[in-house]
Structure 1
Amino acid sequence: MKTLFMLLLFCHVASTVKHSLKYFLTATSGVTNIPEFVAFLMVDEVQVGYCDSNIKIADPKQDWMRDFMKDNPQHIDWYTQRCSSNQQFFRAHLDALKQRLNQTGGAHILQRMNGCEWDDETGEVIGFNQYGYDGEDFIVLDLQTLTWTAPRQQAFTTKLRWDADKARSEFNKYYCFHECPHWLKTYVHYGRSSLQRTDLPSVSLLQKTPSSPVSCHATGFYPDRAMMYWRKDGEEHHEDVDHGEILPNHDGSFQISVDLILSSVAPEDWRRYDCVFNLSGVEDVIITKLDKAQIRTNWVSPSEFPAGVTGVVVGLLLLLALCIAGLFIWRRNNNSE
């Protein structure tokens, strides 16, 4: 979905810390092997809660969130009720959309992302509430005008109906600017030791083959507010550089790669290049020199194979050639009968 899952780009300047509380809700029709309704609760891009139409109860996913639920048992009941009511809401709207668009079969997906961001220095709060259908933006609430925007013509009927429901829009506004930041601040307080930690990564130089770009790869850092770039003679270098996205690891940390294409770099100029990683809020940077001896690769030239290994490889290739030739002769004889 174009706007439900956004890549955050960070400028090379010190920035304030922004926290976020986001709900990702998904209803499906005609999709097998997954629940018909799934909901994720994310705090600072970390999954802290989950429910679906099969388990039907709110499931905390972080230790600090479990502690919060123990201290506030009514909260898990509230989330469980919300999971049930949203499941019914999404089921009804998905069925109505399919009927209106004359979609009698196939797989269809209705999604919503809503929540808020809070700047802990300025106090600024930004709210959002938007829907997607079958992988495309469908309808978005403008919290300033309290009107819905329909990027797709199919959503125009929904826009008219929801624009007329003033109570619904006012509730969404109140939630985004009052309830949401209240709970966000509460969650950040409970999870501060985890959410506000800073973990520096391990940085490696990787290369597939001698003619491939050299990838400066950082993994294991937290949070995801980080930047990495190549420098030449101490200045940020943009030519022949390919910036990768910040991606999540299975353990909740993050990784990123920045590639440098070496075709235009003379061997004697390698010493002029280095890779810089900087984690937001951390003064120290990690600088990795472009050094051939430090590049990790799985590529091995044929001349570097041991003699015994080379003989085995050649033997296997000859055997494969004989098998192919035999198969060709067998097919030719069969066709001539």
Structure 2
Amino acid sequence: MKDFVLLLLFYHVVSPVKHSLTYLLTESSGLQTFPEFVAVAVVDEVQAGCCDSNSKRAEPKQDWAKKLIKDHPQQLEFYTQICVSIYVTLKTDLVTLEQYLNQTGDVHILQVMAGCEWDDETEEVIGFTQIGYDGEDFLSFDLKTLTWNAYKPQAVIIQHKWDREKAQSIFIKNFLTNICPQWLKMSLDYGKSSLLRTDLPSVFLLQKTPSSPVSCFATGFYPHRADMFWRKDGEELHEERGEILPNHDGSFQMSVDLNVSSVSPDDWKKYECVFQLSGLKDDIITKLDKAVIRTNWGETGIKCYTSTNNITELSEQLNPEA
């Protein structure tokens, strides 16, 4: 689903102030070993809580989320009620859609991605709701007109149904533009020790074979608001960037490749990999150097070159009052 997944595109100036609260809802049919309905709440790419059609109960997943719920038990009750309500609604819509498309008896999936993004510097709030069906973009909600946009002819029947439900549209707008930002700010306050931290990456140069591209690989960084690119003589090269991916420990990784097959030995020193992280003043620079490339065909050392001489200086940037 090319547009359904949240893809964050970063440029040379990486925003250090945008945060998000996203709800990922999945309604399915025909899957015997999977709950019909699963909902996950994600704060800045970290799973905060979930519920499903089996338990019919919202459950916090992080220590800070558990503390938040303990202090504000009404939120847990609200999430539980919404979980059950949305489950029933999406189940009905999925059945209606399957019947309309004459698809009963097969496996089908209806997905919802809804939430808000908040800029803590400008206070701008952006709400969003997108629907996917069987892996393709299907519907989106227009907060200005309080109507639904259909991406497929098959979506029109659901579009018309939801457009008639004015009270639901008003609730969605209020939730996305008022309640969601408030809960996002509350989550950031409770989870600031982990959600607002800044972890520096380890950066390596990797190459599979002598003729393969050299990959600049950064891992272990947090937050996910980062950018990475190659440049030559100070000018950015528009190589294809890899996707930012999560590690098992809650940190992130990414990579960017450089085709060196046409680079002469004398020109290697002109290239460098640049990693930029939200909250970090200086870039992390890794020089293109054959002596530090890790390969599958020979033993080399590993060395990370940074724009400062001492990693302590980088840490002081992140914690100036420490």
Tell me if TM exceeds 0.5: yes
Does the CA contact (< 8 Å) of 1:16 and 1:121 recur in 2? no
State the percentage of identical aligned residues: 63
**Which of 262, 275, 279 is the matching residue for 1:264?**
262
Partner SS state of residue 167, structure 2: helix
Offset of 1:64 from its aligned partner? 0.6
Equivalent residue number for residue 309 of structure 2? none
Q: Partner of 1:243: helix, strand, or coil? A: coil
Query: How much does 1:31 deviate?
Result: 2.1
TM-score, length of structure 2 as denominator length:
0.89
Indicate the structure (1 or 2) with the bigger Cα radius of gyration: 1
Q: 2:290 corresponds to which residue? A: 292
Quote the Cα distance in structure 2 between the aligned partners of 1:40 and 1:65: 13
Q: Tell which deviates more after alignment, 147-156 or 199-208.
A: 147-156
Q: Check the 8 A contact 1:44/1:195 in 2, yes or no.
A: yes
| 1:101–1:154 CA contact under 8 A, matched in 2 | yes
> Pairwise mapping of residues 212-227 of structure 1 onto structure 2 (< 5 A)?
212-227=212-227
Query: What corresponds to 2:315 in structure 1?
Result: none
Contact conserved, 2:226 with 2:277, CA < 8 A, in 1? yes
Letter matched to residue 50 of structure 2: Y
Say whether the 8 Å CA contact 1:215–1:258 is kept in structure 2: yes
Instruction: Measure, in 2, the Cα distance between the counterparts of 1:204 and 1:211.
Output: 18
1:274 aligns to 2:272 (yes or no):
yes
Q: Deviations over 1:203-261 (max 9, x none)?
A: 000010111111000001011111111121232233xx332111111111111111111
Separation in 2, partners of 1:248, 1:44: 12
Partner in structure 1 of residue 85 of structure 2 = 85
Q: 1:138 to 1:31 in 2, by over 3 A?
A: same
Tell me how far apart the structure 1 counterparts of residues 163 and 56 of structure 2 sit (CA, whole Å).
Answer: 31
Q: Distance in 1 between matches of 2:152 and 2:169?
A: 20
Q: Residues 73-108 of structure 1: CA distance to partner in whole angstroms, max 9, x if unpaired?
A: 232222222222222112111111111111122110
Paired with 1:14 and 1:205, the residues of 2 have a C-alpha distance of 23
Question: What secondary structure does 2:13 align onto?
Answer: coil
Task: Note if 1:76 corresponds to 2:76.
Answer: yes
Conserved 8 A contact 2:202-2:219: yes
2:306 maps to none
The answer to whether the 8 A contact 2:56-2:83 is kept is yes
* SS of residue matched to 2:240: strand
Contact 1:27 1:37 in 2 (8 A): yes
- The aligned amino acid for 1:145 is T
> What is the match of residue 2 of structure 1?
2
Counterpart of 2:318 in structure 1 is: none
Q: Secondary structure at the match of 2:24?
A: strand
Contact map agreement 1:58 1:83 (CA 8 A) in 2: yes
Counterpart code for 2:55: I
What do residues 88-137 of structure 1 show as CA deviations (whole Å, max 9, x unaligned)? 11211111111111112211001111111111111111111221111111
Once structures 1 and 2 are overlaid, which stretch shifts more, 165-174 or 253-262? 165-174
Counterpart secondary structure, 2:148: strand
Aligned ranges 1:1-337 → 2 under 5 Å: 1-13=1-13, 15-238=15-238, 241-300=239-298
Please say if residues 16 and 120 of structure 1, whose CA atoms lie closer than 8 Å, have aligned partners that are also in contact.
no
- Unaligned stretches of 5+ residues in structure 2: 300-322
Quote how far apart the aligned CAs of 1:63 are.
1.1
Residue 14 of structure 1 and its aligned partner are, at CA, apart by 5.0
Deviations 1:136-180 (CA, angstroms, capped at 9, x unpaired) = 111111110111111111111222222222222112111111111
Distance in structure 1 (CA, Å) of the matches to 2:193 and 2:269: 40
Inter-partner Cα distance in structure 2 for 1:280 and 1:259:
22
SS in 2 for 1:242: coil
Aligned to 2:303: none
1:258-302 deviation per Cα after TM superposition (whole angstroms, max 9, x unaligned):
11111110122212211111112211221111111111112259x
Whole-angstrom CA distance in 1 between matches of 2:47 and 2:11: 25
Is the CA contact 2:16–2:278 (under 8 Å) kept in the aligned structure 1? no
Q: Relative to structure 2, which stretch is displaced further, 291-300 or 190-199?
A: 291-300
Deviating 4+ runs (over 3 angstroms): none
- For 1:94 and 1:125, how far apart are their aligned partners in 2? 30
Residue identity opposite 1:61 in structure 2: K
SS in 2 for 1:227: strand
3-state SS of paired residue (1:95): helix
Letter in 2 for 1:202: S
Aligned-partner Cα distance in 2 for 1:156–1:293:
59
Question: Alignment RMSD, CA only?
Answer: 1.6
Amino acid at match of 1:165: E
